[in-house]
Amino acid sequence: MKNKVAIVTGAGTGIGRAASLALLRDGWTVVLSGRRPQPLQDVAEESGAGPRVLAVPCDVSDPQSVRALFDRAVDAFGRVDLLFNNAGVGAPAVPIDELPIEQWKQVVDINLSGMFYGIQNAFRVMKAQSPRGGRIINNGSISAHTPRPNSIAYTATKHAVLGLTKTASLDGRHHDIAVGQIDVGNAGTELAQRMTQGVMQAHGQVAPEPLMDVDIVGQSVLYMANLPLEANVMFHTVMATKMPFAGRG
């Protein structure tokens, strides 16, 4: 267990940061990935993990950058046992006909294509290493199942992550690669603080929503990561108990 190696994308803030710290505190070696170097360094220093943590800037929308991330992890630590495929972005909450095409493309490039590049490189490395295999955890979101108003780019890409997870889980069976998905609702990150002030609901009114501690998500990722490869949590939903999800629409 103590020699297992994880790659976490979007590791500098929010859910990625919480998951990275949970893994590091449990003895994992973690490669922190994100577009901005400074937040990655901050997480590395906060962890106090010394040689068990490595910060590697990466743009998940660039397939060559993602390949280089995995190659760097293998060069440094010899293998990859876990990919937490976490990096993602949203778009402005505007009516469908007002969403700029470039904004749509950016969300697709990061949330869908970037997720695929991570899965593809994880398969490349995990199939070839010895002992072979590993685990991939995709960050889906409550929006992989139920949309919010004015969220077509984010919701469409997160619904697509559901397909990535199911297909990669099927294709990974023959290579000892377990693939699952964590769907998070209202974790207490900096980006989610706006929800406490009120967000648009399905019936057209604005209402505040509760948040949960983001460290709970980190512990959920750690639980999934520590399972033996003979077992897999394909879908794990963790959410603020009183948020509007069941019956949202």
Catalytic positions:
154
Instruction: Evaluate the CA torsion angle 249, 246, 223, 49 in order and state its sign.
Output: positive
Q: Where are the beta strands (DSSP E) in the chain?
A: 5-8, 29-34, 53-57, 82-85, 134-139, 177-185, 199-200, 206-207, 235-239
**Secondary structure percentages of the chain, helix, strand, coil, to 5:** 45, 20, 35
- Spatial separation of the C-alpha atoms in residues 29 and 27, rounded to whole Å: 7
Identify the CA nearest to 65 among candidates 4, 7, 139.
7
User: Which residue bears the tokens 């780019």?
Assistant: 153
Determine phi and psi for 44, rounding to 5 degrees.
-60, -45
Contact 40, 11 (CB under 8 A): yes
Distance, in Å, from the CA atom of 145 to the CA atom of 12, rounded to the nearest integer, reads: 26
Helix (H) or strand (E) holding 119: helix 114-128
Phi/psi for 57 (5° steps) reads: -60, 140
Inter-CA distances, 195 with 118, 187, 208, 211, Å: 30, 10, 6, 8
